[in-house]
Amino acid sequence: MYCIARNGVAADMLGLAAEIGYSETAFLEAIGDREYRVRFFSPQAEVDFCGHATVAAAVALADAELGAGELLLHSNVGEIRVSVATVGNGYHATLTTVAPKTAELPSGPLAELLAALDWEVEDLDPDLPIGLAFGGLWHPILWAVTRERLAELEYDFAALTALMRREGWGTVSLLTRERADLIHSRNAFPIGGVVEDPATSAAAAALGGLLRTNGLLPAGGKFRVLQGEDMGQPCLLDVDASGHGGIRVSGTARRLHTDKTSGN
C-alpha cells in the first residue's frame, strides 16, 4: 500500500496506516525528479524499511504517472534504488537494499525466541545456519526441520512482541529450503500488530545476505522465496544476492484501489 504524504506528520501517517490495516503502508513525498522521501508505517508503529511496500509503491507510481525507469527513495536506513520495467500490460520492480549484515543470534534471545514460538531445538534444521541478518531491518533467521513444522505457526503474541521490541528485530523469519534456489518462508510480525506478514522483501534480502556470507547461494546467486502460502495469500519474491553490496529483490503488484492518493 502507498500514499502520497502531504504534511509529513508521523501521527497522521500512523493513524492512516492503522485505518487501512495492511501490514505496512508506504508514504511518499516527492523531493526531486523521480526522487522521493519514503516512510513506512504498520498499524502500530513506524518501520524503518519495508521491501514489499517499496515494490508496490514503485509499481503504483509507474502505473499512475511515471512509467518505467529508475527511482531513488530516501528511507530511514538510507538510499534505496528501484528499477521499474514494463512487463506485459503491467510493471515489475527491482529494489536494491543497503549493504547487508549478519550477526550471531545469542543463546539467550534464541532460547526466548524458541519458547515464544513453542519450538524445540529439535524443530530446527541442523544443516542450515541460524543467525541474525540485516537488509534494512534485523531479522532472526530460523530453519524448520520440515515444511510441515513450518506450517504449524502458533506463537505467544505478547511474549514475541516484547522480545522483538527489546532486541530491535523487524520480523521473525521462519524458513524451509525445498532446494537451493527455492525457499518457503513465514514471517511473524506481532510488533506491527499482525500475526504474520504475507510478503517481506526486507527479510528476503536479509536472507540473501546470510546465505551469501555462509556460502550457501545457488549457482548465479539467485533464488526464490515463497511466502504467504499458509495464509492463503501466496507471494513470490525473486532475490539476487550475487556479487557484493546491496541485495536485489524483485516483484510486482496489482491495483486494489482507484483513488488518486493511494494504490497497491
Tens of pLDDT along 144-185?
A: 999 999 999 999 999 999 999 999 999 999 999 999 999 999
The pLDDT, as a whole number, for residue 7 is 52
Q: Residue 109 is inside which H or E element, if any?
A: helix 107-117
Task: Report the b/e string of 28-67 with b at 16+ CB within 10 A.
Answer: beeeeeeebbbbbbbbbeebbbbbbbbbbbbbbbbbeeee
- Band (pLDDT 50/70/90 cuts) for residue 257 is low
Over range 194-220, report the average pLDDT. Answer: 94
Tens of pLDDT along 234-255?
A: 999 999 999 999 999 998 877 7
Distance between CA 22 and CA 2 in Å, rounded? Answer: 10
* pLDDT of 259 strictly over 70: no
Tens of pLDDT along 8-17?
A: 688 889 888 8
Judged by average pLDDT, the poorest of 59-63, 100-104, 132-136, 154-158 is 59-63
Between 88 and 74, the higher pLDDT residue = 74
For residue 7, the tally of other CB atoms under 10 A from its CB is 7
Q: Give the CATH H-level superfamily of domain 2-96+255-263.
A: Diaminopimelate Epimerase; Chain A, domain 1 (3.10.310.10)
* pLDDT of 264 strictly over 50: no
Tens of pLDDT along 112-130?
A: 999 999 999 999 999 999 9
Over range 126-135, report the average pLDDT. Answer: 96
The pLDDT, as a whole number, for residue 23 is 75
CA distance to 28, 81, 146, 174, 258, per residue, from 13 (Å): 11, 23, 40, 29, 20
Cβ contacts of 84-89, under 8 Å, gap ≥ 24: 84/58, 84/59, 87/252
- Band (pLDDT 50/70/90 cuts) for residue 263 is very low
Three-state DSSP at 75 gives strand
pLDDT over 90 for what percent of the chain? Answer: 73
Over range 188-213, report the average pLDDT. Answer: 93
- Band (pLDDT 50/70/90 cuts) for residue 261 is very low
Quote the mean pLDDT of the chain.
Answer: 91
* pLDDT of 262 strictly over 70: no
- Band (pLDDT 50/70/90 cuts) for residue 78 is very high
Three-state DSSP at 232 gives coil
Q: Which CATH architecture fits 101-246?
A: Roll (3.10)
Task: Give the residue range(s) of CATH 3.10.310.10 domains in the chain.
Answer: 2-96+255-263, 101-246
